[in-house]
Amino acid sequence: MNEGAPIRTQGPPASSGTIMERSSPGRRASAFAPLDVPAVTVPAGHERALAPELPQVAEIDLVRHYTMLSQQNYGVDTGPYPLGSCTMKYNPKVAETVAAFPGFQRAHPLQPDTTVQGTLEMLWRLERALCEITGMARATMQPPAGACGEMAGLLMMRAFHSDHDASRARGGHARRKVLIPDAAHGTNPASVRLAGFEVVSVPSDDRGLVDVEALGELVDDQVAGLMLTNPNTLGLFEERIEEITGLLHSVGGLVYYDGANLNAIMGKARPGDMGFDIVHINTHKTFATPHGGGGPGAGPVGVTERLVDYLPAPILARDDDGTLRWDRDREKSIGRLHGFHGNVGVLVRAYAYVFGHGADGLTEVSELAVLNANYLAARLAPAFPLAYPDAPPMHEFVSSVESLKRQTGVRAMDVAKRLIDLGYHPSTVYFPLVVDEAMMIEPTETESKQTLDAMAEAFLRAADEAHTSPELLHDAPVTTPVRRLDEARAARRLKLRWGAMHPPD
């Protein structure tokens, strides 16, 4: 069985230009009811001088144009998408159905709480479930993605320390450092900096785990906390996690769990039980809310009891009569992170996933996710050895193309592009940055053994071809609407909108 790289590829030139090229003066798709009140015009001085040049097209033009473009895109619905760290699992269709229920879809964010008890109940139950899964006390649903969740967590760290720290006299700014493993995802250091902390890098040991001894050296009373995924960015479980969190706690620091890899441990182990204080969840990873071509996601953040007061406001409260309401009166809260209540439409989908799977299903998800990764890792090992073979991978693994490159000159990028021609979306490449020629592969639990086998064969074939016909890899892809694109030129000769080209600066 071939999964196919199901994007439109040949025949008449795929590109027929932008929607602007379908534009024709006077054509129009939109229509409104005739104005049934006296017409009013814009007060003098406020009029727009130059009308925006939007496309002028009929509905049929829109439909053909965007349908064609959609066919030039590869999604989970077209084939396997083993992007490491991204958990590109199958997105059950029922989630789309329930999110479209008018009661959810047409609720205004500023309606009286009494009129949206259904949504509030959904959010409440979801919060309870997420807290149970992660071992936290309460959670905020506001962050629209993981990175924003990180920000929320770090600002809570900050607020917590300025409240509790013995060194409060020093303005609560004594704890300036946040520790992050060298392999961490880019959002971690970026968030740390934006939250007003300094990044201190924690080295890995040669098994790919946190070097606990080195960590010991780094930990002092200037440390606000540590951010970690577990399994870590290499897909390996930090076995000494209790020591790690203990170390931090011993100096009054907090430990943040980046939930990107939660898919590996549901029902098996909980960040709270490992000693983490703050946890974010990427619903678009673990709970299969569709990635939307880059977003939206949702990044709920759970905290242990001692941090509850600092959660972003408002949070949900249940009155004695069972009515839910937003509790806005939260003195110690870090405040608001989003214009309204977060990506509620995404959270409905997460609810569907969480309660559709339930306790048994979520546990099975993690079991299969880890099984699939281990199986695929074993199948690929002959050609693509694990970068850190000494610790067993969890739900994803990092292989290195380094030795293949030395032998054949073929790089990870070439393997990735050849996989496209063989019908697959490549894995993450060149991340984590600490591994040379890294390929980070996360098959997820929703791929069947058949699919894993077919995918493995494609990887192995590419490795073979690297020896026998490397040009197939260097020239790849050749089956796509466009071939390798000149990224340097894109950055040099910026053309970021139609009509205008900005000269190199």
For residue 85, give the DSSP letter. T
Select from 306, 320, 386, 362 the least CA-distant residue to 130: 362
Stretch that binds its own copies, among 56-64, 212-220, 256-264, 406-414 (CB under 8 A): 56-64
Residue pair 395/450 in contact by the 8 Å Cβ criterion: no
Q: Please tell me whether residue 10 binds its own copies under the rule CB under 8 A.
A: yes
450 contact, one of its own copies, other proteins, ligand PLP, none, CB 5-8 Å limit per kind:
its own copies
**422 near its own copies, rule: CB under 8 A:** yes
Check binding of 418 to other proteins (CB under 8 A): no
Q: Which is nearer to ligand PLP, 95 or 458 (CB)?
A: 95
State the binding partner of 214 from its own copies, other proteins, ligand PLP, none, CB within 5 to 8 A by kind: none
Asked if 208 contacts 235 with a C-beta cutoff of 8 angstroms, the reply is: no
Query: Which of other proteins, its own copies, ligand PLP, none does residue 132 bind (CB under 5 to 8 Å by kind)?
Result: other proteins
Beta-strand relationship, 428-429 and 438-441: antiparallel
Amino acid sitting at position 11? G
Residue 260's binding partner out of ligand PLP, other proteins, its own copies, none, with CB under 5 to 8 Å set by partner kind = ligand PLP
Which residues, numbered 469-488, are part of the site for its own copies (CB under 8 A)? 479-480
User: CB of residue 99 vs its own copies: minimum separation in angstroms?
Assistant: 14
Q: Coil, strand or helix: which one is 31?
A: coil
85 interacts with, out of ligand PLP, its own copies, other proteins, none, CB within 5 to 8 A per kind: ligand PLP
Q: Which does 1 bind (CB under 5 to 8 A by kind): ligand PLP, other proteins, its own copies, none?
A: its own copies
Instruction: Give yes or no for residue 187 binding ligand PLP (CB under 6 A).
Output: yes
Closest approach of Cβ 192 to its own copies, in Å?
Answer: 37
- In sequence order, which residues have a C-beta less than 8 Å from that of residue 44 and are 6 or more positions away? none
The first and second tokens of residue 201, run together, are 């890098």
- Site size toward ligand PLP, by CB under 6 A: 13
Of 435-464, binders to its own copies (CB under 8 A) are: 446-450
Question: Binding to ligand PLP (CB under 6 A): which residues in 239-258?
Answer: 258
Give CA–CA dist 283/260, Å, rounded.
9
Q: Name the one residue in this structure whose structure tokens are 């309401």.
A: 325
Q: Kindly state the DSSP code that residue 21 receives in the 8-state scheme.
A: G
* DSSP element (H, E) containing 140: strand 138-140
Ranges within 157-186 binding ligand PLP (CB under 6 A): 185
Return the ∠ at Cα 366 (arms to 362 and 372), rounded to 5°: 135
The rounded distance, in Å, linking the Cα atoms of 118 and 96 is 17
Stretch that binds its own copies, among 55-63, 206-214, 224-232, 255-263 (CB under 8 A): 55-63
147 contacts: CB under 8 Å, gap ≥ 6: 187, 190, 191, 299
Burial class for 293, CB neighbours closer than 10 Å (0-12, 13-18, 19+): exposed
Specify the residue, 28 or 336, whose C-beta has the smaller distance to its own copies.
28
- Of the candidate spans 11-19, 47-55, 330-338, 398-406, the one that interacts with its own copies by CB under 8 A turns out to be 11-19
- What the block records as the tokens of 213 is 């001894």
Whole-angstrom distance, CA of residue 282 vs CA of residue 262: 9
Are residues 246 and 255 in contact, defined by beta-carbon separation less than 8 angstroms? no
Binding mask 294-323 toward ligand PLP (x if CB under 6 A, else -) reads ---x-x------------------------
Site membership for other proteins, residue 312 (CB under 8 A): yes
Residue 66 is inside which H or E element, if any?
helix 59-71
141-160 mask for ligand PLP (x: CB under 6 A)?
A: ----xxx-------------
340-379: contacts with its own copies (CB under 8 A): none
User: Would you say the C-alpha torsion 243, 271, 299, 162 has a positive or negative sign?
Assistant: negative
CA–CA distance, 57 with 145 (Å, rounded to integer) = 34
Instruction: Output the smallest distance, CB 409 to other proteins, in A.
Output: 18
Which CB atom, from 53 or from 464, has the smaller least distance to other proteins?
53
Compute the distance between CA of residue 371 and CA of residue 365 in angstroms, rounded to an integer.
10
Q: Which is nearer to other proteins, 150 or 465 (CB)?
A: 150
Taking the C-alpha atoms of residue 61 and residue 251, their distance in angstroms, rounded to an integer, is 63
232, 282, 289, 343: which one binds ligand PLP (CB under 6 A):
282
Check residue 421 for interaction with its own copies (CB under 8 A): yes
| Contacts with ligand PLP, residue ranges (CB under 6 A) | 85-86, 145-147, 185, 187, 229, 258, 260, 282, 297, 299
> Where on the chain is the footprint of its own copies (CB under 8 A)?
1-14, 16-17, 21-22, 24, 27, 58-61, 63-64, 67-68, 71, 77-79, 90, 92-93, 421-423, 446-450, 479-480
